[in-house]
Amino acid sequence: MYELTINLQPGTKVPLYEQIYNYIKQDIQAGRMKSGERLPSTRALCRHLEVSRSTVELAYEQLLSEGYVEAEPCRGYFVAQIEGLYQFDRKENSRKPENVRREKKYRYDFSPFGVDLKSFPYNAWRRLSRECLMDDRTELFRLGDPQGEYGLRSAICSYLHQARGVNCRPDQVIVGAGSDYLRMLLIMIIGNHHRVALENPTYRQAYLMFENLECEVCTVDMDSRGMSVEKLRESRSDIAFVMPSHQYPLGIVMPIRRRMELLKWADEAPGRYIIEDDYDSEFRYKGKPIPALQGYDTHGKVIYMGTFSKSIAPAIRMSYMVLPDSVLEKYRERCGFISSTISRVDQLILQKFIEEGYYERHLNKTRALYKSRHDTLLGCLKEIRGDFEISGENAGVHLLLRFYGGYSEEELIRRAAGKDVKVYGLSGYYVGEQKMPEKDGAVILLGYANMSEDRIREAAALLEEAWRNK
């Protein structure tokens, strides 16, 4: 019989039975207790450890249920025979891999993906949450409509028509947990036999998503008006993924003529579609927001996608897409059985948030906040003496600095990092075989959404020091 000497620690948060269980399990895993060895009886072990018998029985029952020991009637408990049990090396497993790189934290970070969370309407969201859960509404905890709750989809339709000029019905809207999920769902709907063209440079996440879904993916060069339709035709693609209201990362706003050319391209052949990613159209600082491309579509060629992650908070993982009727039929045939990925409670909160005017007020507040930071950064940059020009500054939450005179992107980033300021290079947004043209020089992205005006001024002063006398 195997002797157990267990150093129990009654004053800890770990229950005594769990301490006994862990001790025996570890001995079995380490091979110190061999298969077939008999364990002390519960009566003997409880006397030896000076604990209650029920404590020992709980430990044995857990070991028995996990298959570490076996019970034989009238004989007791024995170590189970487990072939090929992995021998755990605690010291080895506790060591951190040497090749794991830790991301450096910078004092100032001009992230183009930033969102100001201090302006989040916590009080309104908290009140709406309480209201939704005030009564025992059991229906909220059942599976809802696969497309999302009708009330939320109706609220989204009203907002899109008013703010973005999108023409749609609630039954055309599908709500999902983030844009990545909706892109995956879309490929399940239309199939992965398509050739998808993205702008160059582009949003890498979308490119990699389509590529990993085994679509044939390519990039199409852009001019000052957006994706070149002539080169789109040359690419032999049947799907164009574009961001006409504010292209990421260049910040180009596609003019109406180019939009009409895109729609004409889609009409030229059956099975062609345009995916319009309208990710941050709410933030525009010069003139009125540009209406969505979908509003000009009269032949059901545009699949419209939007999100609340940029306008409310990243953790509000709610995005939506508007399907033309032809694609909607395919959705019902192929994917109508897939349950919604967002809880009905969260959907109801967002619905009320929109319907009761909180979303509009939040957008107005956030626009004013970002506009102020946008103007502050522009003012600071204009004071910096440098051979660069500013672009993409009329919308979104980032702008670009295009340097001339042989400046290296790597050197600009390195010098900024030396001042504890993180900036981002445009070259990282070119994907596939496409590389950043040498004629474009070095281009730096500066986001300002998650930095206060004072911190923007401080960071801009450090950039001036870093890039001085280059």
Per-residue pLDDT tens over the stretch 152-206: 999 999 999 999 999 999 999 999 999 999 999 999 999 999 999 999 999 989 9
Q: What is the CATH number of domain 122-360?
A: 3.40.640.10
Contact (CB, 8 A) for 292 and 165: yes
Identify the CATH number of the domain defined by range 108-115+363-467. 3.90.1150.10
74-88, 131-145, 329-343, 394-408: the lowest-pLDDT one:
74-88
Which are the contacts of 46, defined by CB distance < 8 A and separation ≥ 6? 52, 53, 55, 56
Instruction: Encode pLDDT of 386-410 as tens digits.
Output: 778 898 887 788 999 998 877 789 9
pTM as predicted: 0.77
CATH fit for domain 16-93, picks 1.10.10.10, 1.20.1640.10, 1.10.760.10, 1.10.1740.10:
1.10.10.10
**Domain boundaries for CATH 1.10.10.10 within the chain:** 16-93
Distance CA 317, CA 181 (A): 10
For the chain, residues classed under CATH 3.40.640.10 are 122-360
Q: Please check whether residue 388 is in contact with residue 426, taking contact to mean a CB–CB distance below 8 angstroms.
A: no
CATH 3.90.1150.10 segments of the chain: 108-115+363-467
Phi and psi, residue 463, nearest 5°: -65, -40
Cβ atoms of 234 and 221 within 8 Å: the answer is: no
Selection from 200, 441, 447, 432 nearest residue 310 by Cα: 447
| Ramachandran assignment for 35, one of left (phi > 0), alpha (psi -120 to 50 degrees), beta (any other) | beta
pLDDT digits (tens, 9 = 90+) for 174-189: 999 999 999 999 999 9
